[in-house]
Amino acid sequence: MPIDPISVSLLSLATAVPGTILPQSEAKALVRRLFGARTSRFDTLEPVFDNAGIVKRHIVRPPAWYEQDHGWRERNQVYLEAAEALYEECAAKALAAAGIAPDEVDALVTVSTTGIATPSLEARVAGRMGFRSDAERVPIFGLGCAGGVGGLAIAARLAAGVPGKTILFVTVETCSISIRLDKPSKANIVATALFGDGAAACVLRSGVDPRGGIAKVGAGGEMLWPETLGIMGWDVEDPGLGVIFDRSIPPFLEQNMAEAVGAIAARSGVAPEEIDRFVCHPGGAKVIVALEQSLGVGQGALDHEREVLRDYGNMSAPTVL
């Protein structure tokens, strides 16, 4: 006799962003000061700022910080300070919205790829947050922009393992600290037109919960294309992470996303035509268009994604949440 899967409820979702707001017009002026006199490439790339679909984003330091040279150690210290603060803010909001006390959390899933934290972020804030000493810790590094969806799926699978288990999933990214004065590359300039900082947190619980939550989390799936390692990621360099942004990202999505979604849906017992709404990571204006074309949803269908991109930029993993 088949065993019925344990239901997993998404009890709450909360977000947090740093207090410093950077309008896109100021970002363009800042980058012109940083790179304009050092490379003719900026003149050809300047329209990226106007066409990115971004009005403003939030960053972890005042604009003047980015006009100075910073090494690995200083950048990572900024990451730790900002990431801990963002973690605590969005986690506290998510727990309060779910009606869950910190000491009721059984496992802590953390996704972050824009800095190094050992011990990991959830361990660093555990004492201040009031987590139990026996709560499981699952820190995840290296998922990049996929970390919002991937981390949520991992948290749901953990919850499904034991009835009544409560999981806190948090993803924090501080993309802006990767801005580098020493490297006026095309990828680095494009990144300055897109990147923002932020965090998101979700509380999940398995089994029947009288509160019901805001959604049920069903099946999850992943697709890996090993030959695409050079499309997006980080180069580990001095004096900091160097962004990898290949121009082939939108066409790759347009060519491959529908097939990947169809395969995952089939494994989950869901027909693509049964899907009423896709919720996608708004990596950039061209990425959103490519997703709409590949998924066949029609231009403009991903309206919420455009709104998030407009007000917050690409924050990597938290953006989709």
Residues serving a catalytic function are: 145
End-to-end CA distance of the chain: 37
Peptide bond between residue 318 and the one before it cis (omega within 30 degrees of 0): no
DSSP code of 4?
A: P
Distances (CA, A) of 149 to 62, 152, 236, 292, 317: 30, 5, 24, 18, 8
Beta strands in the chain (DSSP E): 8-16, 20-23, 56-59, 107-111, 136-140, 166-174, 197-206, 215-216, 232-236, 241-245
Give the SS3 label for residue 20.
strand
Per residue in 212-231, is it b (16+ CB within 10 Å) or e — as a string? Answer: ebeeebeebeeeeeeeeeee
Give the C-alpha separation, 53 to 99, whole Å.
36
Give the C-alpha separation, 148 to 203, whole Å.
13
Give the C-alpha separation, 30 to 85, whole Å.
26
